[in-house]
Structure 1
Amino acid sequence: MADIQTYLDSLRKDITFDVELREQALHFRSTWGLFSPREIDEGTRLLLSHIKIAEDADSLDIGCGYGPIGITLARLAPRGNHLLVDKDFVAVDYANRNIKDNKLDNAEAVLSNAFDQVGDRQFDIIVSNIPAKVGKEMLLLILYDALAHLKPGGQLYVVTINGLRKFMKRHFEEVFGNYKKLKQGSNYTVARAIREPGDTY
């Protein structure tokens, strides 16, 4: 019984690891129950490798988890402001801890079901590692709300499992009028859409 208690106690401790993302040395803590708690997942790495961001760009990370995408963007764009959102309060708590641990003063994480707590903020870049089981209804909400929250010329970057690639292409073209596949790997596809000046819904 003592052995199982010791094991359970170890599971309750924060998981911590150091990683380099986009040539940025970062430290993360996470916990069981969050997505990919012990390491940066393949989709996140693929997405980050294809994002172009200016030093003064403002970004929004939808479904941030414990924060690897939004925190990396905050490092790459030190003169921008960066918002990370997730509907899981545990994820938001860990994202804020990781923002503090990585000594960032240009980022914050808030509890929000996609865009519902974002207000009227506008962004140069919106990013999301979209969960496979989010549902097509939520995907459509994310796309239309992303259009509304991007500055003219702003860009939406997403990574999805390959099974959603055709859905994303069709609806990127429907919502934004454009679609670019940046990379299709063995499991994931990274795609981008741009809000053209004058685009609204």
Structure 2
Amino acid sequence: MPRRRKNSTTEVKTLPTPVQEQLLIDAVCPLLEEQTAEIRVLCTTLSRGQAAAALAAVCPTALVTCHFLDAYLAELTREFAGASLNFETACSAEFPETPIDLAVIPTHSGVEPELTRDRLQSTHQALVEGGRLAVSTNDPKDSWLHELMQSMFDKVTRIATKKRGVVYIARKTAPLKKLKSFEARFTFPDHDRLITIVSRPGVFCHRRLDDGARALLKVVEVRDNDRILDMGCGAGAVGLALAARNAKISVTGVDSNARAVWCAEQGVAANELANFNAVHTADGSCEEEGSYDLFLGNPPYFSNYRIAELFLQTAVRMLKPGGEIMIVSKSISWYKQRMAELFDDVGTAESGHYIIAGAVNRRRRK
């Protein structure tokens, strides 16, 4: 069993705890210290589940689930938190269906407000009657989150700290009178047909086609029997469009975001495709290494190229000898240098405001 925490303000392990999670630790842990009955707790995290781990430690009778949309972040949190009898991680497009007694949700002011609305609505639905929601923001002058909470609960307690942020705690007394759908559908033209995309909050480029994807589609050409791997596929725009162009190819879209994979699967149905498969994976790996003809990627710009490196290493493993890689980016210098170390025949092509870096997988590894 995890040791009880002597002081609820103690930081969890050594990784810096986001202020939003520390505020929740300070506000919620005292409420659980005398808890003796079993309760189910649902948490999200902005880092490695520090608030969730703290709640599990202070209340051994709490069954704490830290939920993720992203499999890679869930994996990192499992490594960070270690084994515990009353702490687990879950990764899925939706919150677990098990009714919960307490939900603890940290938020970042101004970041993905539609996702915050979506998750708080889902949290309210998951709470048992009498269950409590504790939510935090790093904005000490917040009014937006306060108003959102007041629209969902009869009474909201506000706990403010100077210069750090705010915690709101509320108890569910009745179901919501009206539920809002945050799912979006949009179309874009590609060759001779319209492609339908299904997207949801938390998925890259929700409600719109990313310009990088548009640039990549302008230059990609496919051949009969090509096997294509679209890494970080998001809602699947690139892969779905290519699959629609040629029924004789097969496309695998992989993403670490469970909700993105769900959206891609909905896109398969919406476009009536039989040659696109969506795979949920933390690192881009899937079956049959060394069997793909074309690898496509639009890596995120953050993480100091750590994720970009993961894309390239995955391409090395998954491509056939002589298979091609194409990466789209606005800043291409790092890719040109690194791809020259891993691949042959590196070249670039402009597409709108973007540059496509292409190369060929080596027939023999050096």
Would you call these one fold, judging by a TM-score over 0.5?
Answer: yes
Q: Provide the residue aligned with 1:181 in structure 2.
A: 348
| Superposed CA offset, 1:85-112 (max 9, x none) | 0000000011011111111111110101
Partner amino acid, structure 2, of 1:199: R
**What is the alpha-carbon root mean square deviation over aligned residues?**
2.4
Name the CA shift for 1:108/1:121 in 2 (closer, same or farther; >3 Å).
farther
Measured against aligned partners, the alpha-carbon deviations of 1:35-80 in whole angstroms (never above 9, x if no partner) come to: 1111211111001101121132110100010100111111223112
TM-score w.r.t. the length of structure 2 is: 0.49
User: 2:330: which partner in 1?
Assistant: 161
- Asked whether the equivalents of residues 172 and 178 of structure 1 are also in contact (C-alpha less than 8 Å), the reply is no
Question: The residue matched to 1:177 in structure 2 has which SS?
Answer: strand
Between the aligned partners of 1:184 and 1:134, the Cα distance in structure 2 is 24
SS in 2 for 1:49: helix
**TM superposition shift of 1:115:** 2.5
1:172 corresponds to 2:339? yes
**Partner SS state of residue 178, structure 1:** strand
- Relative to 1, partners in 2 of residues 1:184 and 1:94: Cα closer, same or farther, differing over 3 Å? closer
Please give the alpha-carbon distance, in whole angstroms, between the structure 2 residues aligned to 1:195 and 1:76.
24
Take 1:121 and 1:179, find their aligned partners in 2: how far apart are those partners?
19
Q: In 1, Cα distance between the equivalents of 2:270 and 2:351?
A: 33
Matching residue of 2:364: 199
Q: Could you say which residue in structure 2 is the equivalent of 1:131?
A: 300
* 1:110 pairs with 2:275: no
Q: Take 1:126 and 1:69, find their aligned partners in 2: how far apart are those partners?
A: 12
Structure 1: distance between partners of 2:198 and 2:264: 9
Correspondence 1:15-164 to 2 at 5 A: 15-120=184-289, 122-162=291-331
Query: Residue type of the partner of 1:84?
Result: G
Structure 1 position 169, deviation (Å): 0.4
Q: Aligned residues, how many?
A: 195
Unaligned runs of 5+ in 1: none
Preserved CA contact (<8 Å) 1:159 1:190 = yes
Is this contact kept in 2: 1:55–1:79, CA < 8 A?
A: yes
CA contact (8 A) 1:22 1:49 kept: no
CA distance in 1, matches of 2:345, 2:189: 32
Aligned residues of 2:255 and 2:284 also touching (Cα < 8 A): no
| Aligned-pair CA distance for 1:116 | 2.9
SS at match of 1:174: helix
- More divergent stretch after superposition (149-158 vs 54-63): 149-158
Please give the alpha-carbon distance, in whole angstroms, between the structure 1 residues aligned to 2:187 and 2:351: 27
AA aligned to 1:195 is N
Distance, in Å, in 1 between the alignment partners of 2:198 and 2:268 is 10
The separation in 2 between residues aligned to 1:102 and 1:184, in whole angstroms, is 26
Percent of aligned positions that are identical: 25
134 and 100 in structure 1: CA distance in 2 versus 1, 3 angstrom threshold: farther
CA offsets 1:162-186 (integer angstroms, 9 cap, x no match):
2xx1100001111003311111643
Task: Tell me how far apart the structure 1 counterparts of residues 283 and 244 of structure 2 sit (CA, whole Å).
Answer: 23
1:28–1:184 distance in 2 versus 1, CA, 3 Å: closer
Larger radius of gyration: 2
